[in-house]
A and B are shown apart, each in its own frame.
Chain A
Amino acid sequence: SQKIEQNSEALNIQEGKTATLTCNYTNYSPAYLQWYRQDPGRGPVFLLLIRENEKEKRKERLKVTFDTTLKQSLFHITASQPADSATYLCALDSDNYGQNFVFGPGTRLSVLP
């Protein structure tokens, strides 16, 4: 069965450092991989989408890599700030209509001042 793992349930880092979150998957061939941020009591907020033929994508302080051979995506937040503290979810999608959209369990990131 499909399985998505995110490196750890919780991650603490010091302000200013780079946070690196990992998403690994098995038994899945995603066409797209997406990263979301979720704050307590709120719906997920879309951050970045990377397609299977893309290796890397950047947006401001965020960077996502996608390695379909390793079946892994890395999500980096550079120069992290306390405001970046949230739960980060990776999600896989394998078709054009979201029928196989699957969330990972999430990593709760805490950026300490």
Chain B
Amino acid sequence: GAVVSQHPSRVICKSGTSVKIECRSLDFQATTMFWYRQFPKQSLMLMATSNEGSKATYEQGVEKDKFLINHASLTLSTLTVTSAHPEDSSFYICSARQPTEAQYFGPGTRLLVL
């Protein structure tokens, strides 16, 4: 089956620093990639949708200058949390898909901002 990887799996950083999370589709070309955030015991919340080579579409309430998304190729998307604060601590998950196919999710990245 399709495999999506994320790196790093876990990151701890100081408040005010920026953190970059990579999402890669390993064995297929993803026309669209998605970024989600999940707080404990809650459902996944879509943050943004990105198509290769174009600007990401952000969900309402998600600051695009705070959460920078770069979809550089059909197999790579990055999410940068800029000037991270403790309230940004969460579980970040990416997914990737081709048209008419299922979304395949990465294993997630746990971010802890001290």
What is the interface of chain A, defined by CB distance below 8 A to chain B?
32, 34, 36, 41-46, 49, 89, 91, 93, 96-99, 101, 103-106
Contacts and interface: CB of A to CB of B under 8 A. Distances in A.
B105 interface: yes
Nearest to A102: B46
B103 interface: yes
Given A98-B49, A98-B97, A41 B91 contact: yes
Interface of B: 1-2, 4, 6, 31-32, 34, 43-44, 46, 49, 51, 91, 93, 95, 97, 99-108, 110
Contacts of B51: 97
Contact of A43 (B46, B49, B93, B101): B93
24 contacts: A32-B102, A34-B102, A41-B91, A41-B108, A41-B110, A43-B93, A43-B106, A44-B44, A44-B93, A44-B105, A46-B103, A49-B102, A93-B103, A96-B99, A96-B100, A97-B31, A97-B99, A98-B103, A101-B34, A101-B46, A103-B43, A104-B43, A105-B43, A106-B43
Contacts, number: 55
Nearest first, the 6 closest Cβ-Cβ pairs linking A and B are: A43-B105, A96-B99, A43-B108, A43-B93, A49-B102, A44-B105
B11 to A, nearest CB: 14
A91 B103 contact: yes
A91 B104 CA distance: 12
Contacts of A42: 107-108
B44 A46 contact: no
